[in-house]
Amino acid sequence: MDTKRLVILGVLFVFLVVLVIIFFNLGSEMKPKAAPPLPSDRIESSQGPAEPITIVLFFPSENDDLLHREEREIISESSEGEKAKRIIEEIFKGSQRGYLSPIPPETKLRELFITKDGVAYVDFSRDISEKHLSGSSAEISTIFSVVNSLSYNLKSVKKVFILIDGGERKTLGGHIDLTMAFSPQYDLVAN
């Protein structure tokens, strides 16, 4: 009796585990894949050796409506794509000089690639929009902190297109238009 019951339970358990695995695999396949660029459009991400570089990040400040420069040294592979990812990660880490964090802390970078015509596609997890303060000023500081930081440090980046969860979204929280690429705005930066 007991062994029979154990066997049935065991079979059910294995069945359940298989179901769970199938479910999650399907789920990840169904997630929208990062939009347009064809592989040929991408800049070759040659795996260069890691080296220290100095980058400039742009953060909002409590004192005024402007973005403020913050230099820091990071170790990164020499390809532009890798540098771009590292720059976004450094923005996630926040300021070391007490400036404000422009991106909700739960946000993750899903994907980032730079096309040959100089557009960096940055794909954030949906937290960047769902956890956002969603006021105009907050949206402007989030967007241009990312756009300016990438464009300023990377020659290959002329414009930045922000994707959310792999797809195009209209806005972060109902204000600034995300359906086109942003050029950097250095007039938002403090002298």
Partner 1 sequence: MSLGDREKLFRYRRGIPKFILAPSCLFLFLNFWSFPQAQPTLEVSARDYADYSRLIVASSKPLSTSIEKSESFLFVKIRANTPFRIQKESLQSRFIKSVEWSQGRGFYTLTIRTQHADFSYDSFKVSNPPQFIIDIYPNGRKDEEETAKTSAGTPVVEARTEKVDLPSQDPECIVIDPGHGGLEVGAKGKFGTLEKDLTLAIGMKLAEIVRQRRACNIVLTRDSDVDISLEDRAAVANNNKATLFISIHVNSSYRIGAAGPETFFLSKDASDEEARRLAFLENNSENLANNIEADDEDVIKMILWDMAQTAYLKQSSELAERIQNELNLLWGTTNRGIKQAPFKVLTGVACPAVLIEVAFISNAQEERKLLTEEYQLKVAEAIYKGLSNFLRENSHL
Each residue of 5-41: b (16+ CB within 10 Å) or e?
Answer: eeeeeeeeeeeeeeeeeeeeeeeeeeeeebeebeeee
Binding mask 61-80 for partner 1 (x = CB under 8 A): xx--x---------------
**CA 71, CA 13: separation in Å to the nearest integer?**
54
Q: Which C-beta is closer to partner 1: that of 81 or that of 102? A: 102
Question: Does 29 interact with partner 1 (rule: CB under 8 A)?
Answer: no
Q: What are phi and psi of 55, to 5 degrees?
A: -120, 160
**Shortest distance, position 1 Cβ to partner 1, whole Å:** 55
Question: Does 118 interact with partner 1 (rule: CB under 8 A)?
Answer: no
Q: Which C-beta is closer to partner 1: that of 96 or that of 137? A: 137
Q: How far is CA 158 from CA 119, 150, 161, 184, in A?
A: 6, 9, 10, 8
Q: Site residues for partner 1, window 76-105 (CB under 8 A)?
A: 100-102
The CB density around residue 111, as the number of other CB atoms within 10 Å, is 14
| Beta strands per DSSP E along 78-118 | 109-114
Q: Which C-beta is closer to partner 1: that of 57 or that of 138? A: 138
Q: Which C-beta is closer to partner 1: that of 61 or that of 125? A: 61
**Shortest distance, position 69 Cβ to partner 1, whole Å:** 17
**Shortest distance, position 178 Cβ to partner 1, whole Å:** 8
Instruction: Classify residue 94 by burial, with Cβ atoms within 10 Å: 0-12, 13-18, 19+.
Output: middle
Q: What's the token pair of residue 126?
A: 């949906």
Size of the site for partner 1 (CB under 8 A): 28
Q: Site residues for partner 1, window 120-159 (CB under 8 A)?
A: 133-138, 140-141
Q: Using the rule CB under 8 A, give the single segment among 16-24, 72-80, 121-129, 178-186 that binds partner 1.
A: 178-186
